[in-house]
């Protein structure tokens, strides 16, 4: 095989090898985006550690475009949700990827995937608490 052909094959293999896991993530995402997140969030509350922690959990298990989290968080703040709660939700949404964890674990290592997502979750809660104090 010529060098270009070999390179093209290797590059294609880099895409096709994780394709089943990527498609698994896509299937899960398409179902998760059907969840009534706004209804769930109505029960979270407007502030405090528990509210921030719960919103970070919802953000962590949610997935999809960050724009969705900005719009959802912004709309909820308009309806009385605390800024710290919205921040923890947005930061967890964009930094924690529970749905993507199987793909992350398969390609970068299980331990790394678990530790990275756990640390990201703690940082999301911390950011929520700090922003609740700053923007109160």
Partner 1 sequence: MAFVKALRSLFLGEEEDYRPITIFAITFIAYLVIILIFPSIQSKAMANLWKILYNLIPAFVLVYILMLLIDLFVEPKSLAAKFKAMRGWKLWLFSVIAGIISTGPIYMWYPLLARLKKEAELNYGYIATFLYARAVKIPLLPFLIAYFGWNYAIAITITIIILSLIEGVIIDMLMEGKNDSSNSV
**Contacting positions for partner 1 (CB under 8 A):** 3-4, 7-31, 33-34, 66-67, 70-71, 73-75, 77-78, 83, 86-87, 90-91, 94-95, 97, 100, 102-104, 106-109, 111-112, 115-116, 119-120, 123, 127, 130-131, 134-135
* DSSP output for 105-122: HHHH-HHHHHHHHHHHHH
Instruction: With residue 16 as reference, give the H or E element that holds it.
Output: helix 3-16
Least distance in angstroms from the C-beta of 59 to partner 1: 11
Q: Which is nearer to partner 1, 44 or 88 (CB)?
A: 88
Nearer to partner 1 by Cβ, of 50 and 115: the residue is 115
DSSP 73-101: HHHHHHTT--HHHHHHHHHHHHH--TTTH
């Amino acid at each position: 095989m010529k060098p270009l052909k070999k390179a093209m094959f290797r590059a294609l293999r880099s895409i096709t090898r994780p394709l089943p896991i990527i498609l698994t993530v896509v299937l899960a995402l398409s179902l998760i985006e059907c969840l009534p997140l706004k209804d769930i969030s109505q029960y979270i509350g407007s502030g405090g550690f528990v509210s921030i922690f719960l919103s970070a959990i919802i953000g962590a298990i949610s997935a999809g475009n960050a724009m969705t989290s900005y719009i959802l968080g912004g709309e909820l703040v308009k309806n009385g949700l605390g800024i710290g709660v919205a921040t923890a939700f947005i930061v967890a949404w964009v930094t924690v990827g529970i749905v993507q964890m199987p793909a992350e674990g398969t390609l970068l290592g299980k331990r790394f995937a678990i530790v990275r997502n756990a640390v990201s979750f703690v940082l999301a809660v911390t950011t929520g608490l700090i922003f609740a104090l700053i923007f109160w």
